[in-house]
Structure 1
Amino acid sequence: MKKILALCITALCLTQCTAQENPPNVLVFYVDDLRAELGCYGSETAITPHIDQLAIEGVMFNKAYVQQAICAPSRMSMLTGLRPETLGIYNIFTPLRKVHKELVSLPQLFNSNGYKTISIGKVYHHGRDDKNVWSTYFEKEPNSYLKPENIALMKRLKDQGVQPLKGPAFEDADVPDEAYKDGRVANYAIETLQKVKDDKFIMFVGLSKPHLPFNAPKRYWDLYDKNDFEIPSREKPDSAYRLALPKWGELKAYYGIPKEGDLNDELTRDLIHGYHASVSYIDAQIGKIMNTLETLDLRKNTTIIFMSDHGYKIGEYASWCKQSNLEIDVRVPLIVSRETSYKNRVTNKTSDALVENVDIFQTLVDICNLEGAPPSDGKSILPVLNNPELEWDEAAYSVYPRGKKIMGCSVTDGKWRYTEWRDATTNEVIEAELYEHKNSLLAYVNLSGNAAFAKAEKKMTKLLEKQFPREKIFPQKDLAKK
């Protein structure tokens, strides 16, 4: 409550930024459901030349983490600089402004510092959050199907009153990029850049793919041979907490996906193929926007941030989608490329520093020298951008509830991931998990309670309690319903 009151007071005294003579523009590519399945991150299958080039032009983070592996809370956390446990919102159903009308968000802060603020595509999960705050707002669009057979299917399902109304999980129509929504997002971003080229701006470009359904123009599917994709191991972590893995109902709601049991190899390959096609599709849109920056001579004074709202499973652990505290769901790609005129600009470097998406808020405050910034749960990673080998945070944290009664609290030190499942009202530990991730995103044995790893577990327990002390009760403004 004290923190929220402090934020209210700060909101009243935001002032115009005058400290920096020429603060940079900012362009944020905010991608939905994207794990580090990119060429620059070592993927042997993903074709992502434009994102790879962006990594060459900046600092790529190997150990970047979200605060919760689900869209709405993750995005709220980044846009406010506050963790889900500070906001007290852990699900996709509650808009930020329904609970917190007083918080100062990034678009509000940049507005007060003289910037044009631009939201294109999916930025907040709930479009109505801060809708009237942005200088320019381009509404996110619903998913669409373009193949005649799928259009007819959707009409039939609607006429039958099927709920939720979900079509096929993938589509490969032979259409131009702008026929699907991310192509239109890119076109609108390009048009907007031409309009604001003489203004100071922060632009968020929210790309919806590779979120389901994996709908992308056929030419991006044609980049891949589906038979080249290996079927991930369906092995589940041994002795994992019974609720550690999600039920992945998000995928099962789509037409043609079995409601029970594992997917067969054929359907698994189709979905992996669709995920990769979707990633290559958004990579091409990023390339168009970056080319426009260069053409308009804006790159010299524009900082670029490429990020995702959470990771994703495409068949690993016989599971799909996100919604867990597992390493594969909370680790994300993050690339920051400073404006070319920045005198300390670092390029073509990889950092192993532990950073979090909640850090982006304070980082932008420092990069743009903004005045009147409210308190933040994150901290600026500008020192790491200037020196990617710098020793940094000792841990990164995430949460994920299971219903209203159980909260999963998780921490990583870059090698170990430790998770406690706690009673959400008493904070009593119900069960714990310890996984080693020194060489892989995946781990198959829960080492918690194993005497041979007691030292590691003790260390991770202490790290966890720094952020989630046992005596701290979680705010429950809206615990997840699923």
Structure 2
Amino acid sequence: MRSITILLLLVLTFLSSQAQTNQPNILVFYIDDLRAELGCYGSETAITPNIDKLASEGVMFNKAYTQQAICAPSRMSTLTGLRPETLGIYSIFTPLRKIHKEVVTLPQLFKQNGYKTISTGKVYHHFVDDKDSWTELVKRPSNIYLKPESLAVLSNKGAKGPAYEDADVADDGYKDGIVANDAIRMLHQYKDDKFLMFVGFMKPHLPFNAPKTYWDMHDKSKFEIPSKKKPKDMYNLALSKWGELKGYHGIPDEDPLNNELTRTLIHGYHACVSYMDAQVGKVMQTLEELDLRKNTMIVFMSDHGYKIGEYGAWCKHSNVEIDVRVPLIISRETNDKNRVSGEVSNALVENVDIFSTLTEICGLESPKSDGKSLVPVLHNPDIKWDEVATSVYARGKNIMGCTATDGNWRYTEWRDSNTHEILGTELYEHKNSLLSFENLSGKEGYKDVEERMKTVLESQFPRDAKPFPQNDMPRN
């Protein structure tokens, strides 16, 4: 009996050792303010060859959603596997660790299990948040302005720089080129270790500063001005005042912006996307050169979507489809026999699912998560999956917007944050477009759809639930 017990222990030890040996590296490209405006997603204006190549090597998710269309809460959600309404943080002002000391984060879990954990660029919204969970927390570059006219603006005390710039400089003249260089340096430094590396590229976030090379890739005259019409009967607080853009020098208070400035900003957004794409290419090339690609899983994702003039609005800060839908590409390591390449999945997935997905792939025991591992979808992209994806957006302390999509319809309830009393409802059709120009809630002919979507949303946000946790709400 004793010999059998010893034999079993030896087998378990061997299997555990093999599992540890087979654990892949993880490289996450975490992009700021990137909507699904990429060549691989069908954009006719984006120039993104490196991201397109990555999509051809993995599974591209066509219906991926963030949990809140703003930086800090969305990133905390990804890095904890917990939704904003679980964490109770809905604004950009409060770091995770100020409120939640005990929550186990993705880098913390991987570090505890023998991985080197590296953060470059923007990963958490707050740079030093969760700092003890990183083996290496690489200094994040600040906004860079180089042209004399921009520097003249900045010379005035307290002034914010222009919303865009196109200096004729090398890639590392601006932020994302520096982040790419840091990521490449980290790959060389940790090439012999198991690693979890987040590369947080900051473009296309404002300001739209990118080397002139990337502006010149695009013909400004080819950009169409999107409709500035707001959806008919839209809830009055559904869209934000887009003060984020208005804070930059040279942006007038007028609403909507004139066509010339709109086209320039659209040009700048696209230039920044192409600039970021080139940096992705450099990091991927280094993976190949170091012979790391064969054992490295790649995740390419955005923290939330973005508006570039649609509805006459800008930036994110809402529950509309174009703000909560995100690009997501996952590419398994090349020596994985289960690897699926060049596939598109229409499964409804969420950024909160990334935590469970990575822990399962690496064989780690995961803490309780609000997400769901996407491993089955990576094996079979056409598998029947979730019925709904949900997001939230708070308007101050008293109003919470709860939204749900089934992939074709989006239903939103604006509620009293404490009582869950419904203050307004919205129903939009998105079968063929990210945009919708009429709120169909309460309209004849759509009652069955609305009732079904209401049931789906309220299964995730019960009307008899406790008040929404309020560890940090928006200030306005």
TM-score range for the pair, normalised by the shorter chain length: over 0.9
Q: Does 1:43 align with 2:43?
A: yes
Once the two structures are TM-superposed, the CA of residue 157 in structure 1 deviates from its matched residue by 4.3
Take 2:38 and 2:387, find their aligned partners in 1: how far apart are those partners?
26
**Corresponding residue for residue 199 of structure 2:** 205
**Corresponding residue for residue 276 of structure 1:** 270
**Corresponding residue for residue 335 of structure 2:** 341
Question: Secondary structure of the equivalent of 1:261?
Answer: coil
Once the two structures are TM-superposed, the CA of residue 230 in structure 1 deviates from its matched residue by 0.2
Take 1:315 and 1:93, find their aligned partners in 2: how far apart are those partners?
26
User: Quick one: structure 1 residues 33 and 17, their matched pair in 2 at CA, closer, same or farther if it must change by over 3 Å?
Assistant: farther
Q: Does 1:428 align with 2:421?
A: yes
Alpha-carbon contact 2:122-2:140 (below 8 Å) kept:
yes
Once the two structures are TM-superposed, the CA of residue 260 in structure 1 deviates from its matched residue by 3.0
Q: Which letter maps to 2:379? A: N
Residue 230 (structure 1) aligned to one of 221, 224, 228: 224
Once the two structures are TM-superposed, the CA of residue 250 in structure 1 deviates from its matched residue by 0.3
Alpha-carbon contact 2:255-2:312 (below 8 Å) kept:
no
CA deviations on 1:27-64 (whole Å, 9 max, x unpaired) are 00000000000000000000000000000000000000
Once the two structures are TM-superposed, the CA of residue 291 in structure 1 deviates from its matched residue by 0.3
Q: Does 1:399 align with 2:387?
A: no
**Corresponding residue for residue 378 of structure 2:** 385
**Corresponding residue for residue 481 of structure 1:** 475
**Corresponding residue for residue 187 of structure 1:** 181
Question: Secondary structure of the equivalent of 1:452?
Answer: coil
Question: Secondary structure of the equivalent of 2:297?
Answer: strand
Residue 169 (structure 1) aligned to one of 163, 167, 180: 163
Alpha-carbon contact 1:118-1:203 (below 8 Å) kept:
yes
CA deviations on 1:58-79 (whole Å, 9 max, x unpaired) are 0000000000000000000000
Take 1:315 and 1:118, find their aligned partners in 2: how far apart are those partners?
36
Q: Which letter maps to 2:411? A: Y
Alpha-carbon contact 1:17-1:113 (below 8 Å) kept:
no
Q: Does 1:137 align with 2:121?
A: no
Take 1:139 and 1:466, find their aligned partners in 2: how far apart are those partners?
43
Question: Secondary structure of the equivalent of 2:131?
Answer: coil
> Mean alpha-carbon deviation: is it higher for 340-349 or for 126-135?
126-135
Q: How does 1:110-125 map to 2 (within 5 A)?
A: 110-125=110-125
Q: Which letter maps to 1:146? A: L
Alpha-carbon contact 1:190-1:289 (below 8 Å) kept:
yes
Take 1:212 and 1:467, find their aligned partners in 2: how far apart are those partners?
33
**Corresponding residue for residue 357 of structure 1:** 351
TM-score (norm 2): 0.95
**Corresponding residue for residue 7 of structure 1:** none
**Corresponding residue for residue 151 of structure 1:** 151
Alpha-carbon contact 1:69-1:323 (below 8 Å) kept:
yes
Q: Which letter maps to 1:353? A: A
**Corresponding residue for residue 244 of structure 2:** 250
Gaps of 5+ in 1: 1-15, 159-164
Once the two structures are TM-superposed, the CA of residue 449 in structure 1 deviates from its matched residue by 0.5
Question: Secondary structure of the equivalent of 2:445?
Answer: helix
Alpha-carbon contact 1:59-1:385 (below 8 Å) kept:
yes
Q: Does 1:416 align with 2:409?
A: yes
Q: Which letter maps to 1:335? A: I
**Corresponding residue for residue 463 of structure 1:** 456
Question: Secondary structure of the equivalent of 1:118?
Answer: strand
Take 2:362 and 2:280, find their aligned partners in 1: how far apart are those partners?
23
Q: Does 1:292 align with 2:286?
A: yes
Alpha-carbon contact 2:141-2:178 (below 8 Å) kept:
no
**Corresponding residue for residue 11 of structure 2:** none
**Corresponding residue for residue 9 of structure 2:** none
Once the two structures are TM-superposed, the CA of residue 17 in structure 1 deviates from its matched residue by 8.6
**Corresponding residue for residue 56 of structure 1:** 56
**Corresponding residue for residue 3 of structure 2:** none
User: Quick one: structure 1 residues 202 and 270, their matched pair in 2 at CA, closer, same or farther if it must change by over 3 Å?
Assistant: same
Once the two structures are TM-superposed, the CA of residue 21 in structure 1 deviates from its matched residue by 3.1
Q: Does 1:368 align with 2:323?
A: no
Q: How does 1:2-17 map to 2 (within 5 A)?
A: none
> Mean alpha-carbon deviation: is it higher for 146-155 or for 295-304?
146-155
CA deviations on 1:138-188 (whole Å, 9 max, x unpaired) are 122221101122112201244xxxxxx321000000000001111010001
Take 1:239 and 1:175, find their aligned partners in 2: how far apart are those partners?
47
Take 1:477 and 1:80, find their aligned partners in 2: how far apart are those partners?
16
Once the two structures are TM-superposed, the CA of residue 18 in structure 1 deviates from its matched residue by 7.2
Take 1:368 and 1:185, find their aligned partners in 2: how far apart are those partners?
26
**Corresponding residue for residue 13 of structure 2:** none
**Corresponding residue for residue 85 of structure 1:** 85
Alpha-carbon contact 2:407-2:430 (below 8 Å) kept:
yes
Residue 326 (structure 1) aligned to one of 290, 314, 320: 320
Once the two structures are TM-superposed, the CA of residue 341 in structure 1 deviates from its matched residue by 0.3
Q: Does 1:440 align with 2:433?
A: yes
Once the two structures are TM-superposed, the CA of residue 101 in structure 1 deviates from its matched residue by 0.7
TM-score (norm 1): 0.94
Once the two structures are TM-superposed, the CA of residue 323 in structure 1 deviates from its matched residue by 0.4
Once the two structures are TM-superposed, the CA of residue 479 in structure 1 deviates from its matched residue by 1.5
**Corresponding residue for residue 444 of structure 2:** 451
Q: Which letter maps to 1:271? A: L
Q: Does 1:313 align with 2:317?
A: no
Q: Which letter maps to 1:377? A: D
Question: Secondary structure of the equivalent of 1:156?
Answer: coil
Take 1:17 and 1:33, find their aligned partners in 2: how far apart are those partners?
40
Alpha-carbon contact 1:17-1:369 (below 8 Å) kept:
no
Question: Secondary structure of the equivalent of 1:61?
Answer: strand
Take 2:93 and 2:128, find their aligned partners in 1: how far apart are those partners?
13
Question: Secondary structure of the equivalent of 2:346?
Answer: strand
Take 1:296 and 1:278, find their aligned partners in 2: how far apart are those partners?
28
Alpha-carbon contact 2:404-2:456 (below 8 Å) kept:
yes
Take 2:218 and 2:403, find their aligned partners in 1: how far apart are those partners?
36
CA deviations on 1:300-346 (whole Å, 9 max, x unpaired) are 00000000000000000000000000000000000000000000100
Alpha-carbon contact 1:17-1:370 (below 8 Å) kept:
no
Take 2:132 and 2:139, find their aligned partners in 1: how far apart are those partners?
12
Q: Which letter maps to 2:88? A: G
Alpha-carbon contact 2:153-2:160 (below 8 Å) kept:
no
Alpha-carbon contact 1:262-1:318 (below 8 Å) kept:
yes
Once the two structures are TM-superposed, the CA of residue 238 in structure 1 deviates from its matched residue by 0.3
Question: Secondary structure of the equivalent of 1:132?
Answer: helix
Q: Which letter maps to 2:214? A: Y
Take 1:84 and 1:101, find their aligned partners in 2: how far apart are those partners?
16
